[in-house]
Amino acid sequence: MRVWQPGAHLSSVKKVEVDDWSWRRTRRRIGALARLTRPYKVRTAFSVVSLLAATATALAPPLLAKYAVDDGIRKHDLAKLWWIVGAFVLAGLLNWAMSYVQTYLTGWVGERILADLRIGLFRHLQRLSLGFYERTRAGVIISRLTNDVEAIDQLVTDGVSSLVQNSLTLIGTAILLFILDWRLALATLAVIPLMSIATVIFRVRSTRAYRAVRERLGLVTATLAEDIAGMRVVQAFTREGANTRNFKEVTERYRDSNMETVVLNGLYFPFVDLLSSIALAVVLGYGGHLYFSGDVTLGTLFAFMLYVQNFFDPVQQLSQLYNTFLSATAALDKIMDVMEEEPEVLDHGGAAPLPEVDGHVQFEGVRFAYSKGGEVLHGLDLDVPAGTTVALVGHTGAGKSTIAKLLARFYDPQEGRITIDGHDLRDVTQASLRHQLGIVPQEGFLFAGTVTDNIKFGRTEATAQEVVQAAQTVGAHDFILRLEDGYETQLQERGSRLSLGQRQLVALARALLADPRILILDEATSSVDIGTERKIEQALRILLSGRTAFIIAHRLSTIRDADLIVVLEHGQIIEQGSHDELLAKRGLYTSLYGDWAVA
């Protein structure tokens, strides 16, 4: 059977080893836990008090048993025996009550801490710039919100209280052993050196083993998320078998890592049981000798037997908690690394709301490079008057998508500036800028929810009549009415119930309803029938009317109808002008247009 390890997870966004126990790192962890606990400090304090009371009542029975044997049974004092029995029962009842209070309060606080952590992490992820998502696998991000939070769950709802309670039990038992008889205590604790050596070896080996488990579980999660997201491509290229073999391989590596932890646990914990048995044998042998010589009472010997078991049980629990602690610490490090990620694009202190604009866009000497890689745009200059439809054309990697991302301010240029109606984008708030931008991706992304919810996504206060009007304008109304529940039809994730063309029409309706002054559009080109293509073309003409639009163009009709065509190559503008002007130059555009026409 597989030994359970709470939360084994993949490596962090910034490579952090679990065995980094520097004061700076430790203080960072303590600070994070303190911030999470602070709103619930009163209940946490009551939880600590109830834990101390539960521990004290758990230590009482062996001592009461000693007095029951020595002062009640051996002396035939029935009255005293009944008093001790009553105290025994009272200690048990108090332990039950305090344990319940402690468990409830710890669970209450722990679950709220976890909810706060999830919400805080999700809120922070909403703030991060697009660059973070482009360099981080979706499976890794999902693992932070699921696997890593679950690992911390084991720590905050059970691990910390178990750590404190078992530590107090261990210390309290050791003290009571010496109070009862220091000679027997020393004899009993003679096995501690062996246990310490075994524990050190176990911890070193288990640190490596559990780190491997976390990393390989992360790979399983990321592989699964990627495969599900790309299922259409997988099936289109009949890669089901190859992907299954790949997933089997990463799963088997995860299984092998788990087996190493099974072997370690199988060696260590029975060894602790063996040491416990040896200690009991020492108590029986040496304690019996002391009893026969009159140096200890029978009650003392009986209490010792019980306390020895009390001593080794916490040792096992603490050793198992070490793995929980390792997993939770690694998970906390990874979550903190994400929480400490700063958005690459920030509003500076003096950023002002962007007033309503006409849509005059200028790129002035813009140079840009992604964090890893060479420069993508090389001193780009572009002047787009308000109301102009610009078609961006060029080979893959020419810089078309980068221009769109910079205009939406998903990134800031390293040099130069971008202005709208003379306002530098870095001097206005991102929210006010994006309220006047509409973005339609190549595959209209739809969320799980109703058709109405998706159309209203950019303007939630819109009325039902406005939603219908937007859908009618772009030609989506008829097919929406044919759906089982019309506008209230529940769509699945990514709108998978609709065709690509239908999703694109809904996305265009969403953009139209938001009424942006500037539109950024990446045209859809595949899996669209002729009828839908004509509807999209008609919808585009309506959507583009009176707006400044930047289109990453793929359709001949859009390219021909554009007011301005900008031809890009290696991050520079090679040509710009109208369709007829560029054809007359017989340059790169003529070559590209010829290729498109043939296609």
The closest alpha carbon to 148, from 341, 319, 337, 340, belongs to 337
User: Cα 10–130–497 angle (5° rounding)?
Assistant: 85
Termini Cα distance of the chain: 59
pLDDT at 361: 95
Residue at a domain's end among 488, 515, 542: 515
Euclidean distance between CA atoms 360 and 369, whole angstroms: 25
pLDDT at 518: 93
pLDDT digit string (tens) for 261-301? 888 888 888 888 888 888 888 888 888 888 888 888 888 88
Residue at a domain's end among 288, 309, 339: 339
**Gyration radius from the chain CA atoms:** 35
Between helices 298-339 and 192-229, what is the axis angle to 10°?
30
Euclidean distance between CA atoms 114 and 158, whole angstroms: 13
Q: Are residues 306 and 158 both part of a single domain?
A: yes
User: Is residue 3 situated within a structural domain?
Assistant: no
Give percent of the chain above pLDDT 70.
93
pLDDT at 12: 34
pLDDT at 16: 38
Q: Are residues 287 and 368 both part of a single domain?
A: no
Contacts of 409-413 with CB under 8 Å at 24 or more apart are 409/345, 409/433, 409/434, 410/129, 410/130, 410/131, 410/345, 411/129, 411/130, 411/131, 411/344, 411/345, 411/368, 411/370, 412/344, 412/345, 413/366, 413/367, 413/368, 413/377
Residue 362 has pLDDT above 90, yes or no: yes
User: Is residue 67 situated within a structural domain?
Assistant: yes
Q: Are residues 387 and 330 both part of a single domain?
A: no
Tell which wins on pLDDT, 23 or 48: 48
Q: Are residues 178 and 256 both part of a single domain?
A: yes
User: Is residue 371 situated within a structural domain?
Assistant: yes
Q: Are residues 323 and 390 both part of a single domain?
A: no
pLDDT at 20: 59
Q: Are residues 454 and 552 both part of a single domain?
A: no
φ/ψ (deg, to 5) at 338 = -70, -45
Per-residue pLDDT averaged across 1-15, rounded?
33
Q: What CATH number did the domain enclosing 148 receive? A: 1.20.1560.10
Per-residue pLDDT averaged across 295-313, rounded?
84
pLDDT at 597: 67
Per-residue pLDDT averaged across 358-372, rounded?
90
Per-residue pLDDT averaged across 543-549, rounded?
86
Q: Are residues 79 and 133 both part of a single domain?
A: yes
pLDDT at 3: 31
How many Cβ atoms sit within 10 Å of the Cβ of residue 45?
11
pLDDT at 19: 53
Residue 596 has pLDDT above 80, yes or no: no
Residue 6 has pLDDT above 90, yes or no: no
Give residue 332's pLDDT band: very low, low, confident or very high (50, 70, 90). confident
Residue 8 has pLDDT above 50, yes or no: no
Between 46-55, 186-195, 403-412, 466-475, the lowest mean confidence (pLDDT) is in 186-195
User: Is residue 14 situated within a structural domain?
Assistant: no
Q: Are residues 598 and 566 both part of a single domain?
A: yes
Q: Are residues 121 and 235 both part of a single domain?
A: yes
Per-residue pLDDT averaged across 453-464, rounded?
89
Tell which wins on pLDDT, 403 or 496: 403
Contact (CB, 8 A) for 404 and 551: no
Euclidean distance between CA atoms 125 and 118, whole angstroms: 10
The tokens for 431 are 């929210």
Residue 149, SS3? helix
Q: Are residues 194 and 209 both part of a single domain?
A: yes
Q: Are residues 234 and 370 both part of a single domain?
A: no
Tell which wins on pLDDT, 532 or 161: 161
Residue 556 has pLDDT above 90, yes or no: no
User: Is residue 588 situated within a structural domain?
Assistant: yes
pLDDT at 325: 80
Between 119-133, 227-241, 461-475, the lowest mean confidence (pLDDT) is in 227-241
Per-residue pLDDT averaged across 520-544, rounded?
71
Residue 388 has pLDDT above 90, yes or no: yes
Give residue 199's pLDDT band: very low, low, confident or very high (50, 70, 90). confident
Contact (CB, 8 A) for 368 and 407: no
Euclidean distance between CA atoms 471 and 455, whole angstroms: 8
Residue 46 has pLDDT above 60, yes or no: yes
User: Is residue 347 situated within a structural domain?
Assistant: no
Number of domains within the chain: 3
Between 179-188, 223-232, 331-340, the lowest mean confidence (pLDDT) is in 223-232
Contact (CB, 8 A) for 291 and 298: yes
Residue 347, SS3? coil
Residue 524 has pLDDT above 80, yes or no: no
Reported as type and span, the H/E element at residue 335 is: helix 298-339
- Structural domain that includes position 522: 359-436+518-599
Residue 377 has pLDDT above 90, yes or no: yes
Contact (CB, 8 A) for 482 and 502: no
* Mean pLDDT, rounded, of the chain: 83
Q: What CATH number did the domain enclosing 491 receive? A: 3.40.50.300
User: Is residue 346 situated within a structural domain?
Assistant: no
pLDDT digit string (tens) for 60-88? 888 888 888 888 888 788 888 899 889 98
Residue 480 has pLDDT above 80, yes or no: yes
User: Is residue 7 situated within a structural domain?
Assistant: no
Residue at a domain's end among 461, 493, 515: 515
pLDDT digit string (tens) for 14-29? 333 455 566 677 787 7
The tokens for 46 are 């009551």
The closest alpha carbon to 508, from 470, 555, 467, 461, belongs to 470
Q: Are residues 492 and 406 both part of a single domain?
A: no
Q: What share of the chain is helix, strand, coil (3-state, %, to 5)?
A: 65, 10, 25
Is 232 exposed, middle or buried, given 0-12, 13-18 or 19+ CB atoms closer than 10 A? exposed
pLDDT at 226: 80
Give residue 11's pLDDT band: very low, low, confident or very high (50, 70, 90). very low
pLDDT digit string (tens) for 138-161? 777 887 888 788 888 877 877 788
pLDDT at 1: 30
pLDDT at 23: 67
How many Cβ atoms sit within 10 Å of the Cβ of residue 486?
14
